[in-house]
Amino acid sequence: MQACTGAATPKIMGSIQYPCTKISINPTNCSLKGSNNLSFTDNSIKISKPISRFSFVSNSLVTGRPPSSVSVPAPGVQDDLSSFEDNELSDADPEVYNIIGKEKDRQFRSLELIASENFTSKAVMEAVGSCLTNKYSEGLPGKRYYGGNEHIDELETLCQQRALEAFHLDGQKWGVNVQPLSGSPANFEVYTALLNPHDRIMGLDLPHGGHLSHGFMTPKRRVSGTSIYFESMPYRLDESTGLIDYDMLEKTATLFRPKLIIAGASAYPRDFDYPRMRKIADAVGAFLMMDMAHISGLVAASVVGNPFEYCDVVTTTTHKSLRGPRGGMIFYKKDTIFGVDLESAINNAVFPGLQGGPHNHTIGGLAVCLKYAQSPEFKAYQNNVVSNCRALASRLVELGYKLVSGGSDNHLVLVDLRPLGTDGARVEKILDMASITLNKNSVPGDKSALVPGGIRIGAPAMTTRGFKESEFVATADFIHEGVQLTLEANKLIPKTKLQEFLKFVASPDFPLRDRLLDLQRRVEVLTTQFPLPGL
C-alpha cells in the first residue's frame, strides 16, 4: 500500500495510508498540523485515476490498491448509464469518505478509554472489507442452502478451529458457532436454545455492572427483550465491598429456581468465582453460562480465570478485549444437559432460529483475529492491559478517588464520583471536550440511571496503541484535571439540572473554556505520539 512519506507515517500507520491511497502521490496531502496532529486535507485531494466503468478481477483483498492494472472494460457498456461504476470510495461518495476521515482523525487524537472498545488491525479490516461480504451461506460448513460455498466452508471451519485453539479447548468436548452477529444476539440465541418462553434466568443487575441482554427490567418496564420473553431476577453486588454478593445469589436462586444463571458483566473490575457459581447452579438445577464479552482477550491469554472449566456455555463479542471485528461467538459443551443437546440446540437457534446468512466477511476477520490471539505478542498485550489498568487504578487511589471494589483485576476501573459531589454524566462531558473518551456508569447505590454516579475507564484500546504504565499514570492525572474542572464548573452554576450544565459548558462563554482547551491540547500531544492501527 502506498503510504505517505515523512515523519507522520510511522505514527499513524493505516490512518495516513487511507487518504493517501486515494490521492495523487504528494506527501503534502497528508499534512501534519502543528507538531503531532494529523489532519485530512480533503480539499487537496486530486483524483489521479479516471473513473472506470468495468468488471474487474483483482487478485487482492480490498486494500485500497488501485485495480487499474487488471481492469477489463466490459465491451459496449461505456455509455450504458445502468452499468456498475466501481469507483473507490472517495470518488463514489466523497461525503461518506470525508466522514470516515473525520472519525479516523478523532480516533487518532482521542484518549480512548471506553472499556468495550479497541482498535482492530489492518489485517482484520482487510478481511472485513473483502469479497466475503458478497456470499450467502445459510447453514453450517458442509450443510449449506446455497451453492458456491466451498471456500466459505473452508473459512468457517478454519475460524471454528482457531476459536477452539485460541481458548485452549478440546474439540471433542467443546464446539463453537462463529456466526452470531454480535454479543446481544449471541446471548438471545443461547436463551432460545436452552429455555422455553417464560423460563427463569438470573444475571448480574445492570446498575451493578451487568449487561442489558442478561435480563434488565425496571419496575415499570421490561427493557431488554430478554426480560420480555423470559422471567428475570437479578443478583447484585454487596454494596459494602463492591464484589458480587454470592451469598445473596445462592439464597435467591434457591427461592427463584432459575433454569439459567449468567456470569459476566459490562462493568465489573474483578474476576468471577466460577466454582461458587457452578455450585449454586448445580444446587438449583440451572445451566451456567458465562458472557465473557469484556474479558475474552484476557481469557484467551489466560490472565484471568478460565470460565470453560465450569460453564456449560460461553458467549462473547469479538471486538472488545479480543480486538477482532464486530461480531459474536457461542461456545458450547458437546453434551446433553437437562435433556438438551447443546450443539444442535445452539446451532439451530442461530440459524434458522434467529439469523439468516452469516456475515462471512466478519468470520474472515475473526479468523485473522483468532490466529493472532494465539501469539506470544497477544499474551504480552493482555498482560500489559492488566498491568496498565492496575497502574491507572493505583494512581487514581493516590489522587483520592474511591474505586468500586477498591481496585481492578482486569481491564477496567469503576470510579465512584459521588463522594466528590458530582456525577458521571457531567465528568463524561467535560472529559469529552478535552478529547478524553470514556463513559458515565452507574455505581452500586445509584438512584438515577440517567445521571449515574460513576465513570468506567478501560485500558484495552490505548494499550493497543502502545501505552505503558507511565502513560496510564499520566491518563489518571488528565482525568483528575477534568474532574477538578467539572467541580469548578458545578460551583459556577450550582444546583443546575444536567441539561443546563451541558448547555453551559458547551457555550462559547464558558469561563473555563481556555483551561479545557489547554487540557485537550496536552492530551492530544500525548495520544498523537502513538500510532493508530488499521486502515
Ligand X SMILES: Cc1ncc(COP(=O)(O)O)c(C=O)c1O
Give residues in contact with ligand X (CB under 6 A). Answer: 116, 182-184, 211, 213, 264-266, 291, 293-294, 317
Q: Residue 269 Cβ, how far from ligand X at the closest point, in Å?
A: 13
CB of 201 to ligand X, least distance (A): 14
Give Cβ neighbours of residue 117 (< 8 Å, ≥ 6 apart): 319, 320, 458, 460, 461
Residues 140, 160: Cα–Cα separation, whole Å: 11
- Contact 293/458 with Cβ under 8 angstroms? no
Of the pair 413, 430, the CB lying nearest ligand X is at: 413
Q: What is the Cα Rg of the chain in Å?
A: 25
Residue 499, burial from CB neighbour count under 10 angstroms (0-12, 13-18, 19+) = exposed
365 vs 132: CA distance, rounded Å: 10
Does the annotation count 136 as an active-site position?
A: yes
Q: Which is nearer to ligand X, 23 or 300 (CB)?
A: 300
Q: How many CB atoms lie within 10 A of CB 484?
A: 16
Residue nearest to ligand X (CB): 183
- DSSP class of residue 27? G
- H or E segment to which residue 200 belongs: strand 200-202
Quote the distance between the C-alpha of residue 27 and its chain's center.
33
Query: Is 138 annotated in the active site?
Result: yes
Q: From the CB of 214, what's the least distance to ligand X, in Å?
A: 7
Q: How far is CA 466 from the centre of its chain?
A: 18
**What pairs with residue 342 in β-bridges?**
none
Cβ(166)–Cβ(374) below 8 Å: yes
| Euclidean distance between CA atoms 328 and 184, whole angstroms | 8
Question: Given the complex with ligand X, which of 40 and 331 has the nearer CB atom?
Answer: 331
In the complex with ligand X, the residue whose CB is nearer, 265 or 431, is 265
Partners of 440 in beta bridges = 455
* Catalytic one of 138, 153, 165, 469: 138
Question: Which entry of 126, 189, 205, 291 is annotated as an active-site residue?
Answer: 291
Distance CA 294, CA 298 (A): 9
**Which is the catalytic residue, given 320, 390, 395, 426?**
320
Question: Taking the complex as a whole, how short is the minimal distance between the CB of residue 180 and ligand X, in angstroms?
Answer: 9
Tell me whether residue 314 or residue 417 sits nearer to ligand X (CB atom): 314
Residue in 136, 341, 418, 522 annotated catalytic: 136
Active site residue 326: yes
240: exposed, middle or buried (Cβ count in 10 Å: 0-12, 13-18, 19+): exposed
**Residue 183 CB, nearest distance to ligand X (Å)?**
2
Q: Which one-letter amino acid corresponds to residue 277? A: M
Tell the smallest beta-carbon distance from residue 326 to ligand X (Å): 7
Residues 514, 517, 519, 521: is their CA dihedral positive or negative?
Answer: negative
465 is catalytic: no
Q: How far is the CB of 305 from ligand X (least distance, A)?
A: 16
Q: Which of 317, 273, 390, 274 is nearest to 120 (CA)?
A: 317
Active site residues: 136, 138, 291, 317, 320, 326
